[in-house]
Chains A and B, each alone.
Chain A
């Protein structure tokens, strides 16, 4: 029971963290300057974005949920679960972020998810 709760917490926070991060970075627009001086200004602007801070909190929750999950469950259970989030997130990227997910990306996401599931054998 505890294992499933942790898994649900991990999946939920990973998905939410990625969606928030992607949404905020899309809104910010393409980063083009990588000179150290400009980069400092970009970082300062990003540090004030609420979605981004929330995204990092969710990523941290996901990280600790994964660590705790590994105390009770095998890696061969925990890692395929993280592959499942990939397909789930692709669906949400289409619905929530309005990304145009073409057949190439669907096929790629499924191949990778199956591949990760096999890696744990």
Chain B
């Protein structure tokens, strides 16, 4: 008996919690930010072409059928191909869109670190022990002294 009451209470709680249903329910506003208008080459959110309007009708139809966000995006890919997604999928060749920039950054950071280390070892750094900057020549020093003496107030 107690188990039944607990189960009923859990079910009621799940049904009454708005967040649970909302998390699953797809919304046109959210999907528009994640997919492209293939003809316009912009986010669907920013597109007003006839093709974009048809795409919105298609998305709304799927939402009304109870499809999740992922299912709607899958249906769009089936219609328009991978390029309809604003962010490329993280698998196959499209994975390179994520991996290449990160790898390039890492390589650049390593190259920079090696360069700085070598520069410091060569004495280029502030503590590298390189030669102190040379002072003015003897002739320049004499001219400087003479000028200072002339304008000394």
A complexed with B: no
